[in-house]
Amino acid sequence: MATEVGERAAALLEANGLAPTGTVFWDLSTEVLYEHAINNGSARLAHGGALAVTTGVHTGRSPKDKFIVKEPGSEARVAWGAINQSIDPEHAAKLGADLRAHLNAVPQLYVLNARVGADPTHGIILRLVSESAWHALFTKSLFIDLTDEERASLAAPDGVILHAPSFGADPAVHKTRQGNFVVMNLSAGEILIGGTEYAGEIKKSAFTLMNDRLPLEGVLPMHCSANVGPNGDVAVFFGLSGTGKTTLSTDSTRPLIGDDEHGWSDQGVFNFEGGCYAKVIGLSAQAEPEIYATTRMFGTVLENVVMDPDTRIIDLDDDSLTENTRGAYPLESVPNAVPEKRAGQPTNIVMLTCDAFGVLPPVAKLSPEQAMQMFLAGYTAKVAGTEIGVTEPQATFSSCFGAPFLPQPPKVYAALLKDRIEHYGVDVWLINTGWTGGGAGVGNRMPIKVSRAVVRGAVSGELADAATRTDPIFGFAVPVAIEGVEPSLLDPKSTWPDPAAYDETATKLAADIVANAEKAGQ
């Protein structure tokens, strides 16, 4: 790893419109980035070796402050609206010029070049230019290291993120909503991020860029985790935050391809990333041993995890800073990760939902038509207390299990998925990691050992030919018996004290799923 200082470093950034006057640090090692982050006071060393940081007022993404430049190269294919808000090229250019002036004037800049996408044909090389050492470390942990040959021959990256947490936009001048912003120019591959320290904006901006580019190449981008069995059988796990996507795909018996973002090409499934960004609130050494171990490991960045200032011992149960505590760590920190970060064609797809109404069975097999419906609907539920104003379970629908990151209409991604399911004969499973016996506050959360049992049965092929019943409301094929699972759990209505209340709740949810799928598919 080289440190570039002075005129040569400035020249290397001319293509990105930068002429820095301070010191430029170029592709630093993890160890050196640790030193910089600690020495400049933006991070602290936690017990076990992780780097602990806080992100201030912004402890999550700010979807209302993300904009896409409405420019001729991408305008016709973007699904403009509340998710993909537009900003005109003139205001984006003014914001970019002011952000560049800010970066040019800071005393230190950190440049990190990395690959997004393990497939050599469909991946891109992305450059982060940031005023923050720990954000450079986050990017190094999350994306894929370049080889020495790639780094030596790199003339210009395929995309660039200009990142300045201490620079705030002026809404009156730049036409943003407030001081924090993410502005993306899809054709130029340029991403501007400012006014927020939350590192997830870096990760998801890169994901959004890939979600725009890959369909143009006939490749399906997916908000999913993926692992592979002993016989090379690949399983893909779709799911929104809180459904168990990372936890259930991290399995000691099935090497992990990745926990969050993948592409599905004619060659198989490949990870976009070289690391994981796991939600760590309430992690248990017993239930999630592999992920738990990374929170006490060198190379992990812990965001907003409460730590004792004297002992430096972290408390994963403390949500006083945010419920959205996160750990970013290299994929190699997981003992059985796939080094290549890619594998063959999937044999099983798992769609995870946290049903806070308690009406879905723990597992059901979906027909191709039902799979498309659930994919377009992207159903899960919010639970009381997770957001201000949420006092009872609320259905949440996010098309393709990742609507905030889809520049193009959901039907584009759904068509690609349907084609692959049919072409490769993939089995699709719906798995409820939420409640049974009633909704949240009344029923009980599905035990994680039950969720693991049904996932293992589904992805191993054990349930492929299991005897099933047809759910009278949802129409799913539900196994009537699974080893290690209490039979009553497979019939959620039988767990409710009031069968009529179950029917009313389930009927409403089924109608909502259909309506949202139809809307997304237009």
494 is catalytic: no
Catalytic residue among 135, 223, 420, 456: 223
- The pLDDT of residue 246 is 86
**pLDDT score at 149:** 86
Neighbours of 390 (CB within 10 A): 13
Sign of the Cα pseudo-torsion (522, 361, 248, 296, in order):
positive
Q: Where are the domains positioned within the chain?
A: 7-42+62-217, 345-520
Computed over its alpha carbons, how large is the radius of gyration of the chain? 23
Q: Which is catalytic among the residues 119, 251, 260, 355?
A: 260
pLDDT at 406: 97
Residue 418 bears catalytic tag = no
pLDDT (tens place) for every residue of the chain, 522 residues total: 455 665 566 678 998 999 999 999 999 999 999 999 999 999 999 999 999 999 999 999 999 999 999 999 999 999 999 999 999 999 999 999 999 999 999 999 999 999 999 999 999 999 999 999 999 999 999 999 998 888 888 878 999 999 999 999 999 999 999 999 999 999 999 999 999 999 999 999 999 999 999 999 999 999 999 999 999 999 999 998 778 888 899 888 999 999 999 999 999 999 999 999 999 999 999 988 999 999 999 999 999 999 999 999 999 999 999 999 999 999 999 988 999 999 999 999 999 999 999 999 999 999 999 999 999 999 998 754 444 444 566 889 999 999 999 999 999 999 999 999 999 999 999 999 999 999 888 999 999 899 999 999 999 999 999 999 999 999 999 999 998 899 999 999 999 999 999 999 999 999 999 999 999 998
Candidates 66, 174, 245, 420; catalytic one? 245
Determine whether 62 is an active site residue: no
Q: Which two tokens stand for residue 417?
A: 């998925």
The yes-or-no answer on residue 241 being catalytic is yes
Assign residue 341 a region (left: φ > 0; alpha: ψ between -120 and 50; beta: otherwise).
left
The yes-or-no answer on residue 259 being catalytic is no
Helix axes 30-39, 133-142, angle to 10 degrees: 150
- What's the whole-model pTM score? 0.93
> Which among 250, 1, 266 has a CA at the least distance from the CA of 121?
266
Q: What is the pLDDT of residue 387?
A: 47
Residue 456 is among the residues annotated as catalytic for this protein: no
Give the list of residues 6+ apart from residue 388 with CB closer than 8 angstroms, or none.
none
CB-side neighbour CA atoms (13 Å) of 501: 12
In whole angstroms, what is the distance from residue 10 CA to residue 18 CA? 7
Q: Which residues contact 503 (CB under 8 A, 6 or more apart)?
A: 473, 493
Query: Is residue 141 flagged as an active site residue?
Result: no
Domain 7-42+62-217 belongs to what topology?
Phosphoenolpyruvate Carboxykinase; domain 1 (3.40.449)
| The one catalytic residue among 141, 241, 294, 505 | 241
Of 442, 262, 448, which Cα lies nearest the Cα of 354?
448
Residue 215: closest CA among 263, 152, 282, 286:
263
The CATH class, in words, for 345-520 is alpha beta
Fold: same for 7-42+62-217 and 345-520: no
Q: DSSP strand E in 165-233: where? A: 181-185, 190-194, 220-228
Could you confirm whether 61 is annotated as catalytic? yes
In terms of C-beta density within 10 A (0-12 exposed, 13-18 middle, 19 or more buried), how is residue 56 classed? exposed
Choice among 59, 132, 225, 246 that is catalytic: 246
Question: Among 204, 213, 262, 342, which one carries the catalytic annotation?
Answer: 204
